[in-house]
């Protein structure tokens, strides 16, 4: 039995949780301590996260862990990527953190293209073009606030700083700023210059798997906290999810399925070819100097937003049940279109898209869910084929992890459409990866290989074999339809 407990703080865009992990009889055992909602709200036209709420929830969860008898622990924090907090020279937050879905960066990629070609940015950073990358957010930042800023801290780094007083820029998440030069393994001075930010405004670039500092219990007298050491894990949730994915050998891809669907491979060498740029693949930095070569697909955000808008409050399993009842593949929708990034009303946006493209308009919860899941499964299948083409590596199996891996119907559909074996689980791969990094950092586990073997020992993976269906026709129809829609635009 371990004398120290490991606690993962994993905060996704839709929810956060504290999960305790222990190794017992050669197996990783996990226990949920607490769970809380997350999301951004609109205030005077800007979308903000409530980071004070997140910090409070972390402290409440740690207090609960202590009340359950866990008095000594290490803690790792991961969250979604790209967003940041501006911290003044007095160490205080200068304002709420703006959400990456805020409209302020809608045109910024095009604006910056006047100063530097996209190809150059891509060759330097290897990072995909998303309007919300930190580089574009900082470009649009309030210049006065930026001048007053001592440190720009990404969300998990900020939370770690609040708990310990130690500021770092953890590099898996740091790479999503699109400000790191992948060849020099450091901030790119030219890119920083273009957005008017000084390198000294970022904290020291730090590898995951290092100790950040002790939890300053006396800063939070209103909480009864355990003794805790905060570990810098792979603080980008997707990086942690990939650490927690039990792939073995070569030829496997992962789909980290949560608010976003992140589909890709783990590799050692970045790919910045023309095709990789055209298809918008990214080379995010992973733990142990690996690269996450992956694509962002709009993901469960779509169904989360449909759920928010519909008057009846469906659960996610109910959406799946409703989707099963209607006949599939009625609409071809390019859900990666930016119009789905943050529409006011997702239901109307999907319906409007179908009207504009002369397709059957989905009305019921089942029709909407079916339309979303079918098109996501097609996008996954296309991405797997693209990955093979771009990297030249054969991919014969897909590991689906994250909350979305609980959707068995979609797992089967993904197997059928991609013609590949699908393995589902763990549903909490991000928390698993977070715990594993703490265990490696403190010497409890040797390395990534041993860590993944532990996951395989501990978790029952569900396997889905592809049924023989006419996948080529379905996928081809989708590609043709999307191409003609893009051409008509």
Q: What is the closest distance, in whole angstroms, from the C-beta atom of residue 206 to ligand ADP in the complex?
A: 23
Kindly state the tokens that stand for 143: 């210049």
Question: Near ligand ADP by CB under 6 A, which window of 111-119, 125-133, 172-180, 400-408?
Answer: 400-408
Kindly state the tokens that stand for 241: 């999810």
The dihedrals phi and psi of 247, each to the nearest 5 degrees, come to -70, 150
Peptide bond into 266 cis (omega under 30): no
Q: Count other C-beta atoms under 10 Å from residue 184's C-beta.
A: 10
Q: What is the closest distance, in whole angstroms, from the C-beta atom of residue 457 to ligand LRH in the complex?
A: 27
> From the list ligand LRH, ligand ADP, none, which binds 125 (C-beta under 5 to 8 Å, kind-based)?
none
Alpha helices in 326-420 (DSSP H): 346-356, 365-391, 408-418
- Give CA–CA dist 40/83, Å, rounded: 12
Work out which of 9, 73, 75, 81 binds ligand LRH, going by CB under 6 A: 81
Comparing CB distances to ligand LRH, the nearer of 81 and 390 is: 81
> From the list ligand ADP, ligand LRH, none, which binds 262 (C-beta under 5 to 8 Å, kind-based)?
ligand LRH
Q: Which residues contact 338 (CB under 8 A, 6 or more apart)?
A: 106, 131
- Give CA–CA dist 22/2, Å, rounded: 7
- Give CA–CA dist 267/276, Å, rounded: 14
> From the list ligand LRH, ligand ADP, none, which binds 14 (C-beta under 5 to 8 Å, kind-based)?
ligand ADP
Work out which of 85, 182, 276, 320 binds ligand ADP, going by CB under 6 A: 320
Q: Does 13 bind ligand LRH (CB under 6 A)?
A: yes
Q: Does 70 bind ligand LRH (CB under 6 A)?
A: no
Query: What track of x and - describes contact with ligand LRH for positions 122 through 141 (by CB under 6 A)?
Result: --------------------
Count of residues for the chain?
Answer: 489
- Give CA–CA dist 62/227, Å, rounded: 10
Q: Does 170 bind ligand LRH (CB under 6 A)?
A: no
**What part of residues 278-307 is at the interface with ligand ADP (CB under 6 A)?**
300, 303-304
Kindly state the tokens that stand for 346: 């997702």
> From the list ligand LRH, ligand ADP, none, which binds 81 (C-beta under 5 to 8 Å, kind-based)?
ligand LRH
Strands of 218-302 (E only): list them.
227-232, 252-257, 261-267, 282-285, 291-297
> From the list ligand ADP, ligand LRH, none, which binds 82 (C-beta under 5 to 8 Å, kind-based)?
ligand LRH
Question: Near ligand ADP by CB under 6 A, which window of 145-153, 401-409, 443-451, 480-488?
Answer: 401-409
- Please report, for the chain, how many H helices and E strands are present, in that order: 18, 21
Q: What is the closest distance, in whole angstroms, from the C-beta atom of residue 238 to ligand ADP in the complex?
A: 9
B/e letters for 351-364, b = 16+ CB within 10 Å, e = fewer, are bebbeebebeebee
Please give the positions annotated as active site: 237
Nearest to 165 by CA among 232, 222, 216, 93: 216
- Give CA–CA dist 440/450, Å, rounded: 9
Comparing CB distances to ligand LRH, the nearer of 232 and 331 is: 232
Work out which of 247, 258, 264, 362 binds ligand ADP, going by CB under 6 A: 258
**What part of residues 221-260 is at the interface with ligand LRH (CB under 6 A)?**
236-238, 258-260
Comparing CB distances to ligand ADP, the nearer of 79 and 175 is: 79
Count of residues of this chain found to bind ligand LRH when the rule CB under 6 A is applied: 14
Comparing CB distances to ligand ADP, the nearer of 11 and 228 is: 11
Question: Near ligand ADP by CB under 6 A, which window of 21-29, 354-362, 388-396, 397-405?
Answer: 397-405
Q: What is the closest distance, in whole angstroms, from the C-beta atom of residue 437 to ligand LRH in the complex?
A: 16
Kindly state the tokens that stand for 133: 């990358």
Burial of 114 (0-12, 13-18, 19+ CB in 10 A): exposed
Burial of 55 (0-12, 13-18, 19+ CB in 10 A): middle
- Give CA–CA dist 35/38, Å, rounded: 10
Work out which of 12, 156, 226, 404 binds ligand LRH, going by CB under 6 A: 12
C-alpha angle 172-175-176 in degrees, rounded to nearest 5: 105
Q: Contact residues for ligand ADP (CB under 6 A)?
A: 12-15, 258-259, 300, 303-304, 316-317, 320, 402-404, 406-407
Q: Contact residues for ligand LRH (CB under 6 A)?
A: 12-13, 80-82, 100, 236-238, 258-260, 262, 296
Binding-site residues for ATP: 13-17, 259, 304, 403
Binding-site residues: 13-17, 81, 236-238, 259, 296, 304, 403
């Amino acid at each position: 039995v371990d004398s120290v407990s490991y606690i993962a703080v994993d905060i996704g865009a839709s929810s956060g949780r504290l999960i305790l992990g222990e190794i017992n009889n050669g197996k990783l055992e996990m226990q949920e301590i607490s769970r809380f909602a997350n999301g951004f709200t609109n205030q005077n036209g800007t979308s903000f996260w409530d980071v004070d709420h997140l910090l409070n929830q972390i402290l409440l969860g740690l207090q609960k862990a202590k009340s359950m008898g866990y008095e000594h622990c290490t803690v790792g924090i991961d969250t979604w990527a790209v967003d940041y907090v501006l911290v003044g020279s007095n160490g205080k937050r200068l304002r709420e953190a703006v959400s990456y879905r805020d409209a302020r960066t809608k045109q910024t990629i095009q604006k910056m293209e006047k100063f530097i070609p996209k190809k150059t940015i891509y060759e330097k950073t290897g990072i995909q073009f998303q309007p919300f990358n930190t580089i574009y957010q900082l470009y649009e930042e309030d210049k006065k606030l930026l001048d007053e800023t001592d440190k720009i801290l990404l969300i998990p780094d900020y939370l770690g700083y609040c708990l310990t007083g130690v500021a770092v820029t953890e590099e898996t998440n740091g790479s999503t700023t699109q400000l790191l030069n992948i060849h020099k393994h450091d901030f790119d001075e030219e890119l920083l210059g273009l957005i008017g930010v000084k390198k000294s405004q970022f904290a020291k670039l730090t590898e995951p798997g290092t100790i950040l500092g002790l939890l300053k219990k006396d800063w939070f007298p209103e909480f009864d906290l355990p003794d805790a050491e905060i570990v810098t894990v792979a603080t980008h949730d997707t990086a942690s999810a990939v650490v927690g994915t039990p792939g073995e050998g070569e030829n496997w891809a992962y789909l980290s399925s949560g608010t976003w669907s992140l589909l890709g491979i783990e590799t050692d060498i970045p790919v910045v070819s023309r095709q990789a740029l055209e298809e918008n693949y990214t080379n995010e930095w992973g733990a142990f100097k690996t690269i996450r070569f992956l694509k962002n697909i709009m993901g469960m955000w779509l169904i989360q937003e449909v759920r928010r808008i519909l008057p009846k409050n469906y659960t996610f399993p109910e959406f799946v049940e409703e989707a099963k009842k209607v006949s599939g593949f009625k609409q071809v929708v390019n859900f990666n279109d930016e119009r789905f990034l943050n529409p006011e009303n997702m239901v109307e946006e999907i319906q409007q898209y179908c009207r504009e493209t002369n397709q059957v308009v989905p009305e019921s919860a089942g029709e909407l869910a079916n339309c979303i899941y079918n098109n996501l499964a097609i996008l996954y299948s296309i991405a797997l084929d693209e990955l093979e083409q771009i990297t030249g590596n054969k991919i014969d199996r897909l590991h689906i992890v994250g909350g979305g891996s609980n959707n068995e119907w979609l797992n089967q559909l993904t197997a059928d459409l991609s013609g590949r074996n699908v393995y589902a689980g763990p549903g909490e791969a991000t928390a698993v990866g977070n715990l594993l990094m703490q265990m490696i950092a403190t010497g409890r586990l040797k390395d990534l290989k041993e860590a993944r073997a532990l996951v395989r020992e501990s978790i029952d993976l569900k396997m889905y074999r592809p049924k023989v269906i006419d996948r080529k026709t379905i996928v081809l129809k989708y590609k043709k339809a999307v191409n003609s829609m893009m051409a008509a635009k």
